[in-house]
Amino acid sequence: VDAWFLTHIHSDHIYAFIEMMEKHADEIDVEKIYYNFPTDLSICSREDDTCAKLFLEFYSLEPKIRAKSYIPRMGETITIGDIKFEILYTYGMPLKINSVNNTSLVMKMYLGGKSTIFLADSEVEAGRIMLEKYGLTGQLKSDICQMAHHGQCGVEKRVYEAIKPEICLWNTPKWLW
């Protein structure tokens, strides 16, 4: 695996990675692991035991992956073969609302003349930051858009209007559909 992007500390976004690294690290070679997670457990709400458990699990694994880890920064471009990724948003300052989702790594991928934006679980606050930074530049415009937070309660309509996708990827479980 040339690159593994981890967007934020929620089980549906990192648990497969944790399990692979804990149980099958000798069977899979991951060249680079991209993530930018808070290092302070207080990012997890007191009611969210799952987040705290994942947080501790990931950071206990971190020494094993440190040599392959890379912390991307907002505005950075990462090239992997023929694919280019622009980091449009990443954790930088704690947001008081929906804090774990608002630490989501948001990237725009360019491949084969098309662009795809991955919003992960970005919420309203992260969307507003991206609109403030890129709204008038056209940089959010993408051919394909992975809808934020499984297509529910994510970024505001204004963000999708700035993206203007031809295709939306709505990765949602059946119970939410």
Quote the pLDDT of residue 92. Answer: 81
- Cβ atoms of 110 and 118 within 8 Å: the answer is no
The mean pLDDT value for 138-153 works out to 93
Q: What is the DSSP letter of 125?
A: H
Structure tokens at 43: 């990012």
Structure tokens at 127: 């969307």
Give the tens place of pLDDT for each residue, 65-121: 999 999 999 999 999 999 999 999 998 866 666 678 888 999 999 999 999 999 999
Quote the pLDDT of residue 46. Answer: 65
- Cβ atoms of 11 and 5 within 8 Å: the answer is no
Quote the pLDDT of residue 76. Answer: 96
Give the tens place of pLDDT for each residue, 18-57: 999 999 989 999 999 999 988 877 777 766 678 888 889 9
